[in-house]
Amino acid sequence: MSKFTFGFIGCGNMGSALAFAASKILRADELAVCDTDPAKTEALVQSGAATLSEAGEIAAQSRYVLLAVKPQGLSSLFAQIRYILQKRSDHFVLVTMAAGTSVSLIREFAGCDCPIIRIMPNTPVRVGEGLIVYTPDRFTTAEDLEGFLWGLSCAGRLDAISEAQMDAAMALSGCGPAFVYQFAEALADGAVECGLPREKANVYAAQTLLGAAKMLLESGKHPGELKDAVCSPGGTTIVGVHALEKGGMRGTVMDAVVSAYRKAVK
């Protein structure tokens, strides 16, 4: 039996956000974290949410080994843990979140036929409103998937997709928060120019985005239909929509997503 349920190798922005979400489900002695920079694990460990470990122990003693390192760091990481994984006789699952890195490449690195789940989370998992898209490989059992979904159930929405769709999902949901933050900042900047205090403008922009997103999810309506419902004939909103169209907002946003996708598949 594994010592840890989840073990995170890497606690950067994404790894620590996921570990924080998992800590709402798992006890500290069930959740192990490590990073080459001790400062990145300090908050989780000091708060009593996780157990400090090291990569070799996590690879040997975790039911789910979550690889939260950048793609360029995978080769050196597997140089450390490959033999450890191959020696294991118990059942374990590798979970990878390396952008643009296929399940087949992770299996080649690992050199064993353990189950592998490839995921792409986004940073709002830290506040329980994230999106994690995932694709399990053919060795992943229903029990494996159930434990994975349970352990990250406080992160937000989890959705299964094919591996062929993973990079497109990453370009939208993985990179998307940065695009949304830019839009929120721009909304607030406009309001500040009109005389609204900065602190209020930031809150109003964020709440507007939150409310609009909830309307989209809960109404099931097309975004265009919801937009039309706000635009009264000859009103202020349609004038603003016209300004956005003149500025090429939709084309620019589409270009941002497509550019991120092309970078991922290079």
pLDDT tens digits for 186-235?
999 999 999 999 999 999 999 999 999 999 999 999 999 999 999 999 99
- Specify the pLDDT at position 182: 97
Token pair for 143: 């029990």
Q: Is the Cβ–Cβ distance between 97 and 119 less than 8 Å?
A: yes
pLDDT tens digits for 83-121?
999 999 999 999 999 988 999 999 999 999 999 999 999
- Specify the pLDDT at position 264: 84
pLDDT tens digits for 124-165?
999 999 999 999 999 999 999 999 999 999 999 999 999 999
Looking at domain 176-265, what is its CATH homologous superfamily? ProC C-terminal domain-like (1.10.3730.10)
Burial call 67-82: b when 16+ CB within 10 Å, e when fewer: bbbeeebbeebbeebe
Domain residue ranges in the chain: 4-168, 176-265
The closest alpha carbon to 91, from 148, 151, 163, 9, belongs to 148
Residue located via tokens 């643009």: 100
> What rounded mean pLDDT belongs to the chain?
95
- Give the class (CATH, top level) of 4-168: alpha beta
- DSSP code for 115: -
Token pair for 236: 């202020």
| pTM of the model as a whole | 0.92
**What CA–CA distance (Å, rounded) separates 190 from 203?**
13
- Specify the pLDDT at position 265: 83
Residues in the chain: 266
Instruction: Tell me the angle at which helices 176-193 and 198-219 cross, rounded to the nearest 10 degrees.
Output: 130
Token pair for 204: 């109003």
pLDDT confidence tier of residue 10, bands split at 50, 70 and 90: very high
